[in-house]
Amino acid sequence: MKEGQKILGSSLMGKEENYLKKELYSLIKKDSGLFDFLQEAALDGLWFWDLKEPENEWMNAKFWTTLGYDPNQMPHKASSWQDIIFSEDLKHVYANFAKHSEDPSCPYDQIVRYRHKLGHTVWIRCRGIILRDDYGKPTKMLGAHTDITEIKEKEEELKLKSAFFKQVIDGTDLGTWQWNVKTGETIFNERWAEIIGYSLEELKPISINTWMNHADPRDLEKSNALLQDHFSGKTPVYECEARMLHRHGYYIWVLDKGKVVSWDKDGNPEWMVGSHQEITDNKKDYERNKSFIQQAPTAIAMFDEEMKYLAASQEWFNVFKINDTDIIGKSYYSVLPEIGNRWKTSHEKCLQGEVIKNNEEQIKNVDGSTQWLSWEFSPWYTYENEVGGVIIHMSDITKIKREEELKSLLAVAEDQNKRLRNFAHIVSHNLKSHSGNFEMLLDLFVQENPGIEDDEIIKLFKTASEHLSETITHLNEVVLMNTSVDENLTVLNLNEAIDKTMESVSALAIENNVTIKNEVGTDARILGIPAYLDSILLNFITNGIRYRSDHRDSYVILSSYTETGYTVLCVEDNGLGIDLKKHRSKLFGMYKTFHNNKEARGIGLFITKNQVEAMGGKIEVESEVDKGTIFKIYMKHEEN
């Protein structure tokens, strides 16, 4: 009973299928619109050929629009399409037609090329069936076209890509691998096996264990970590340098690279493809370069693409005063944060392949010191001729720059000295003439006016005239000096020199009501230059007068004492004083003034300090605002 039901069910299903098919055919016969729909929707061209009148052939509109022509302008003739089909494909069409005519079981089915009206190629699958009369003689032929241009273009594209990648792999001598991460299935090419000295046949059965068994255990942990980074999306590709055991017992280095190309529905990696490239020689070169950098006598450091240290010479540590000895793997910018960002733009350009250099650059260190550096940033390249990082060469040229600056200053000083000597020659000559005339006129005036020589003003004129002549004589001696200052130091009586200066400024002291006291011993002697000593005394005494206080009786007191090879002259006043907290560093600077004196030019202390130092001495100062100042002038003692 069950068996009968199965037969009945099968019969009913067959009847239902036949019923629908017959109904469809019947509808097509009654309504030609259904046939038009089928041919338009399912085909790219339909044709019907009269084999008794072979020039007559009907092509539907879709056939011509597929080829870019206006159907209304195209004749229904066989010759109309034979002019645009590729000639070699037309021969193939005729051959297939002949076979199908002789043997209906031989299908008329081929792919041909047509020339589109716009000039490009259209690939068409052309299928047909011959209709025969009662005697089996061909009378008509019905055919259909299907446009497969897009499929053929993709096939050609794939062929080109396949040929290209094969050429790349063969040209670069790469070993390739495919790995199913989920199942462990692994596929290697022959070159992969050759790299470690085997053939693929010898390595069978192939699996992921083939790689793991030949990899150095020291590199497997690193490799797994890099794989996980790639799987999690941290890196676009997996890349690892690893050692592999060669058939002959030694290790070689390979660059292992790969990428996941398919993922399961849960987002887990499935298939991964990659390559092996032997880099043993390059690795040896790289290690030699690192060793060279570490032992280089100059400041050199090597960085990767992220500006992390790969190697650094000992001089690099010295130049940048780096105390951290374990900097490998650390960022350049974290090790040298003070100047790290200074060259960041240059680093980025270097990583793009540029070589950047600067012969001299001044930098300020954290401790306030100045450093001059000469540097060059050069890219270094990987095995694939891509920039792998930066090599920086630094030279500390601070000493050289200071020597150059010193030479420059010496040259300027020498030129200025020449100008000053010329100026001094002119001044001393002209002043000597004028002072001589003044002294002569004063003598004539006294001779013509007997008894006037006892006048106090005339006495002051006589004293000033004598001191002027003496100063000019001293100035002339300075001008005539051709040897060093030390060789021209003479023994000078300090007490007498002070008395002369006091006489010279006595009128100024009286006018300003300032008392000047010379408490220096009569036996106090120094080694100096008369003109310099006169200038020093004149500057300090006149400063004491100029910067007196109007609120008390003013004085300038000069005293002395000896101290380890020096006679120390103390010039003390009770005047306005100087705020040393503000002005100590610039006290002896050129054109520096510290009070509202319109006549002050800020040159006296500068000249005085240079004169004291030229004679081998120094100056110290003690001062308090509105209480007074003590200048201590250290000058070489006579015994020296």
Judge whether 11 lies within some domain.
no
Judge whether 158 lies within some domain.
no
Residues 59 and 120 in one domain: yes
The secondary structure element, H or E, covering residue 179 is: strand 175-180
Per run of 10 residues, the mean pLDDT along the chain (length 640 residues) is 37 50 68 64 79 88 90 90 91 92 91 92 91 88 88 78 58 78 88 89 89 89 91 91 90 90 89 86 70 75 87 84 83 81 85 88 76 86 80 83 72 71 65 72 80 80 76 60 60 93 90 93 91 89 89 94 92 89 73 57 72 89 91 85
Question: What's 49's domain CATH number?
Answer: 3.30.450.20
In which residue are the tokens 């319109």 written?
A: 598
Residues 180 and 304 in one domain: no
Residues 273 and 311 in one domain: no
Which of 371, 396, 421 is the last residue in one of the domains? 396
Judge whether 572 lies within some domain.
yes
SS3 content of the chain, % helix, strand, coil (to 5): 45, 25, 25
pLDDT for 570: 96
Q: Please give the Cα distance from 230 to 220 (Å, whole number).
A: 15
Residues 348 and 238 in one domain: no
Judge whether 168 lies within some domain.
no
What is the CA angle 552-556-562, rounded to 5?
A: 140
Tell me the two tokens of residue 148: 């497969």
The secondary structure element, H or E, covering residue 275 is: strand 271-278
pTM across the whole model: 0.34
What is the b/e burial string over 235-259, where b = at least 16 CB atoms within 10 angstroms of the residue's CB? Answer: eeebebbbbbebeeeebbbbbbbbe
Evaluate the omega torsion of the peptide bond into residue 75 and state whether it is cis, within 30 degrees of 0. Answer: no
pLDDT for 111: 93
Judge whether 3 lies within some domain.
no
Number of domains in the chain: 5
Question: What's 614's domain CATH number?
Answer: 3.30.565.10
In which residue are the tokens 């000083």 written?
A: 413
Q: From residue 225, give the alpha-carbon distance in Å to each of 76, 222, 240, 305, 598.
A: 71, 5, 10, 20, 80
pLDDT for 375: 86
Per-residue H/E/C for 530-566 = HHHHHHHHHHHHHHHHHCCCCCCCEEEEEEEEEECCE
DSSP letter (8 states) at residue 373: E
Judge whether 163 lies within some domain.
no
What is the b/e burial string over 529-541, where b = at least 16 CB atoms within 10 angstroms of the residue's CB? Answer: bbbbbbbbbbbbb
Judge whether 23 lies within some domain.
no
Beta bridge partner(s), residue 621 = 631
pLDDT for 554: 93
- The boundaries of the domain holding residue 272 are 173-278
Tell me the two tokens of residue 366: 């954290």
pLDDT for 514: 93
Residues 468 and 579 in one domain: no
Judge whether 199 lies within some domain.
yes
pLDDT for 2: 39
Q: Please give the Cα distance from 166 to 300 (Å, whole number).
A: 42
Tell me the two tokens of residue 230: 């790639």
pLDDT for 88: 92
Residues 597 and 556 in one domain: yes
Residues 501 and 624 in one domain: yes
Is residue 45 left, alpha or beta, with left meaning phi > 0 and alpha meaning psi from -120 to 50? left
